[in-house]
């Protein structure tokens, strides 16, 4: 897919709007979560978000566990650990950092993973561009940002990269979004002790529960629904390109909801990271046609290059990873996840 195809004016406008609504919902949901911190702290806020979102997903999706191997369940647990760790660290970060810079720094996780897995020298340009953006964000260093918050956001970035890798395998192993629903439940169980210790009985007060419900809907349920609908009409490459706008959306949410203002240099830094994220998406998805034309021997391991990190094919179906031979993700062999599945469009923040 060429960069021109990514920006084709015939792209369904409603699908584009859905992606933007989803991105806005995620970031404004994070901003409202910060409003919840005075009541229950970041640990309590992330607990309310994940527990409520897990309950909603389990009730609506009703994933099946029977008949699954230990390896399948181990994959779900791994995804849950990555999901829980990412959200817990991110909430700890935005308790100490402005939302825009926090989301921008967290984007270094999937961005770095995409460049490392591509192994193309020219893609190093995007890492350099992102690095310049990060330096501008910190105004030449991180002295202007809380050190503990920076450490937490880098941990969140690492968990996000791990989430991408494990989610690809999960999507191949489980039908539809069953794996994600189960992983959300695992993540909720893992963060629950932190929430209980950090917030105690404040977690079950009506005000906190109501706020938590809003955050869960805005940060998980609404954006994920928008994402699924959009992927029925957009290629994952176009989807990834639009998801690259999230740091800018986060900065806007921080300004509107939390009155967090940024300097011109910091705004320019965020825009450079957005450009680097979009550049990775365009650069790597443009290689897909060449890979497909070379694959005419019946081996379809490289097909659907450009799948998002959640394993969606360009036609919008979920959980049908490339190369699946038996419906459980074993067709391509253990660990044989094509690089393109991981890098053909950066995912939105889970």
For 130-173, the DSSP string reads HHHHHHHHTTTSSTTS-HHHHHHHHHHHHHHHHHHHHHHHHHHH
* Cβ 306 vs Cβ 236: under 8 Å: yes
Determine the average pLDDT of the residues in 191-210.
Answer: 93
pLDDT tier, 325 (very low <50, low <70, confident <90, very high otherwise): very low
Least confident segment among 2-11, 59-68, 78-87, 112-121: 2-11
Determine the average pLDDT of the residues in 333-342.
Answer: 39
**Distance (Å) of CA 203 to CA 32, 197, 215, 275:** 16, 10, 14, 39
* Cβ 20 vs Cβ 243: under 8 Å: no
- In this model, does residue 258 exceed pLDDT 70? yes
- Identify the CA nearest to 159 among candidates 84, 47, 98, 54: 84
Is pTM beyond 0.85? Reply is no
What pLDDT shows up at residue 116? 77
- CB-based contacts of 324, cutoff 8 Å, min separation 6: 172, 330, 331, 332
What pLDDT shows up at residue 141? 54
pLDDT tier, 197 (very low <50, low <70, confident <90, very high otherwise): very high
pLDDT tier, 231 (very low <50, low <70, confident <90, very high otherwise): low
Q: How far apart are CA 171 and CA 67, in angstroms?
A: 17
What pLDDT shows up at residue 315? 35
- In this model, does residue 40 exceed pLDDT 90? yes
What pLDDT shows up at residue 225? 75
Q: How many helices (H) and strands (E) in the chain? A: 15, 0
What pLDDT shows up at residue 134? 80
- Determine phi and psi for 69, rounding to 5 degrees: -80, 170
Least confident segment among 5-19, 108-122, 157-171, 242-256: 5-19
**Distance (Å) of CA 221 to CA 17, 183, 216, 259:** 17, 14, 7, 26
What percent of the chain has pLDDT above 70?
Answer: 73
pLDDT tier, 145 (very low <50, low <70, confident <90, very high otherwise): confident
* Cβ 213 vs Cβ 52: under 8 Å: yes
The more confident residue out of 52 and 112 is: 52
pLDDT tier, 328 (very low <50, low <70, confident <90, very high otherwise): very low
Residues present in the chain in total: 350
What pLDDT shows up at residue 273? 87
pLDDT digits (tens, 9 = 90+) for 80-113: 999 999 999 999 999 999 998 998 888 888 888 8
Structure tokens at 241: 């390109």
Least confident segment among 33-37, 47-51, 144-148: 144-148
Determine the average pLDDT of the residues in 329-335.
Answer: 33
What pLDDT shows up at residue 285? 64
Structure tokens at 322: 């490339």
Q: How far apart are CA 274 and CA 272, in angstroms?
A: 5
The more confident residue out of 113 and 24 is: 24
Tokens 């105004």, residue?
139
* Cβ 95 vs Cβ 30: under 8 Å: no
* Cβ 1 vs Cβ 235: under 8 Å: yes
- In this model, does residue 276 exceed pLDDT 50? yes
């Amino acid at each position: 897919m060429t960069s021109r195809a990514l920006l084709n004016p015939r792209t369904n406008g409603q699908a584009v709007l859905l992606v933007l609504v989803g991105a806005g919902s995620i970031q404004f949901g994070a901003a409202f979560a910060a409003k919840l911190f005075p009541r229950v702290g970041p640990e309590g806020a992330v607990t309310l978000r994940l527990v409520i979102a897990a309950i909603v997903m389990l009730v609506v999706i009703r994933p099946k566990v029977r008949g699954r191997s230990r390896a399948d369940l181990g994959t779900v647990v791994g995804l849950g650990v990555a999901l829980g760790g990412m959200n817990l660290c991110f909430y700890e970060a935005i308790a100490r950092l402005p939302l825009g810079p926090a989301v921008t720094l967290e984007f270094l996780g999937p961005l770095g993973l995409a460049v490392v897995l591509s192994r193309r020298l020219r893609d190093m340009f995007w890492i350099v561009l992102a690095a310049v953006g990060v330096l501008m964000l910190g105004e030449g260093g991180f002295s202007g940002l809380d050190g503990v918050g920076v450490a937490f956001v880098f941990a969140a970035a690492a968990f996000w990269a791990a989430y991408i890798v494990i989610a690809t395998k999960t999507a191949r192993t489980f039908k539809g979004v069953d794996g994600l629903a189960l992983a959300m439940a695992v993540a909720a169980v893992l963060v629950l002790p932190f929430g209980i210790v950090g917030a105690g009985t404040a977690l079950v007060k009506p005000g906190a529960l109501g706020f938590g419900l809003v955050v869960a809907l805005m940060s998980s349920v609404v954006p994920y629904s928008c994402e699924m609908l959009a992927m029925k009409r957009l290629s994952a490459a176009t989807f990834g390109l639009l998801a690259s706008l999230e740091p800018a959306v986060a900065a806007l949410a921080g300004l509107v909801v939390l009155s967090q203002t940024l300097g011109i240099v910091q705004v320019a830094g965020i825009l450079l990271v957005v450009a680097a994220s979009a550049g990775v998406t365009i650069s790597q998805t443009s290689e897909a046609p060449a890979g497909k034309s070379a694959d005419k021997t019946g081996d379809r391991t490289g097909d659907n290059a450009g799948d998002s990190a959640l394993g969606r094919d360009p036609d919008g179906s979920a959980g049908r990873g490339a190369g699946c031979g038996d419906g459980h993700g074993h067709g391509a062999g253990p660990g044989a996840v094509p690089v393109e599945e991981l890098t053909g469009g950066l995912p939105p923040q889970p």
